[in-house]
Amino acid sequence: MSPIRRRAAAGLALAAIAGRARAQAAQEPWPARPVRIIVPSAPGGGADFTARVFGRFLERRGQPVVVENRPGAGAVIGTDAAKSMPPDGHGFVLATNSTHAANPFLFRKLPYDPLRDFAMVGLFGSYPSILVVDARAPYRDVAGLVAAARARPGGLFFGYYSSSSRVPAELLRAATGAEMAGVSYRNVTQILTDLRGGEVAFAFLDALSAAPALQEGSGLRAIGSSAPARDPRRPEIAAVAETLPGFAMEGWMGLAAPAATPPALLARANAAMAEAIAAPEVRKAFEEQGLAPRSLGLEAARDFLAADTARWREWVRIAGIEPE
């Protein structure tokens, strides 16, 4: 047999093997073994909550789900670790707008590439960021906060721990011209402590993290939302856009897998996500925490990520944020 024919035969054999592997992946039960979900943020936050609600639902299929928190460096540490998981359809990362859309523009040397190293599996839903202040603060709305910042140039600080908390605050600064400085935190719990202690004046928290912090007696007050309009379920929280027309920004929670994960297994995981989002108890849990459930197929999820990446590129540019 000539070298050309040998190469052609080898190529056909490999294609046949790959085809059989895809067919087998599509037919075998899923999950076939324990599932691991890396959450690149601390326990108790919105990403952690989302992963655990989905994990409990998925465990009904007979396999345990391990949620592993790997916080740090704006969700970079955990996300970078997730890219090295075996691409066997049983390892995932809780993907967010921070990890997969915003971080490429916030870090000069991001150790992972959201498009090259991962495959989007789907979305759980979207959420606004909530502008929170100490309940004893004199400002009770966005206009009052901006007036206080203008009266004390450079004297008001905001805390942030992710793109969803930093970029809205930077956009507020850019839109009003008020001098405000940001303070980086490792997690949302530390921000809440310093808000109550008066170390920082305000923070934008993702709606899921803000929900438990805004219960009666929490010592905190919500004075604005980054959603384009008020949420009918929380009409007492004004949209920042009511004071600054055009101000709007929303984040999202989803799932991603290592890039080499077989498409058939991605499809199985995507179907499980859709099933979970359709379940009344899961929808209720998400909605009560401020996450608007939203299901997307594999192709639609990829398109969504591409569009959201473009949005975050523009928001970071407008906010004037230099990559770290």
pLDDT in tens, 21-66: 444 545 678 999 999 999 999 898 889 999 999 999 999 999 999 9
Does residue 21 sit within a domain?
Answer: no
Q: How many CB atoms lie within 10 A of CB 85?
A: 16
Burial readout 285-303 (b: 16 or more C-beta within 10 A, e: otherwise): bbeebbbbbbbbebeebee
Query: Model-level pTM?
Result: 0.81
Residues 41 and 116 in one domain: yes
Residue 314 lies inside a defined structural domain of this protein: yes
Instruction: Judge if 144 and 88 occupy the same domain.
Output: no
User: Is residue 17 in some structural domain?
Assistant: no
Same domain flag for 148 and 200: yes
Same domain, 100 and 232: no
Low-confidence ranges of the chain (pLDDT < 50): 13-23, 25
Q: Is 196 within a domain?
A: yes
Residues 46 and 181 in one domain: no
Q: In this structure, are 260 and 202 located in the same domain?
A: no
CA pair distance 233, 237, nearest whole angstrom: 10
Inter-axis angle of helices 46-58 and 280-288, to 10 degrees? 170
pLDDT at 17: 43
Boundary (domain end) residue, out of 183, 212, 242: 242
Tell me, yes or no, whether 151 lies in a domain. Answer: yes
In a domain, residue 137? The reply is: yes
Specify which residues 251 forms β-bridges with.
127
Distance of CA 218 to the CA centre of its chain: 24
Let me know: does 105 contact 247? Beta carbons within 8 Å: no
Which pLDDT value is given to residue 230?
Answer: 92
CATH of the domain at 303: 3.40.190.150
Residues 147 and 226 occupy one common structural domain: yes
In a domain, 297, yes or no: yes
Please indicate, yes or no, whether residues 132 and 38 belong to a single structural domain of this protein. no
| pLDDT for the residue numbered 217 | 81
Q: Helices 263-278 and 46-58 meet at what angle, rounded to 10?
A: 100
Give the distance from CA 143 to its chain's centroid. Answer: 28
pLDDT number for residue 264: 97
Counting the structural domains of the chain, the total is 2
Task: Give the domain-ending residue among 215, 242, 269.
Answer: 242
- Residue 151 domain boundaries: 128-242
Please indicate, yes or no, whether residues 181 and 280 belong to a single structural domain of this protein.
Answer: no
Following DSSP, what letter does each residue of 23-76 receive, concatenated?
HHHHHS-SS-S-EEEEESS-TTSHHHHHHHHHHHHHGGGSS-EEEEE---TTTH
Last residue of a domain, one of 216, 242, 268: 242
The DSSP call for residue 241 is: G
Nearest to residue 53, comparing CAs of 101, 96, 94, 98? Answer: 94
Rounded to whole angstroms, how far apart are CA atoms 254 and 256? 7
44 and 148 inside one domain: no
Instruction: Decide if 44 is inside a domain.
Output: yes
H or E segment and range at residue 229 = none
Assess whether 133 and 99 both reside in one domain: no
We report the CATH number of the domain holding residue 149 as 3.40.190.10
**Same domain? 268 vs 165:** no
Residue 290: per-residue pLDDT: 87
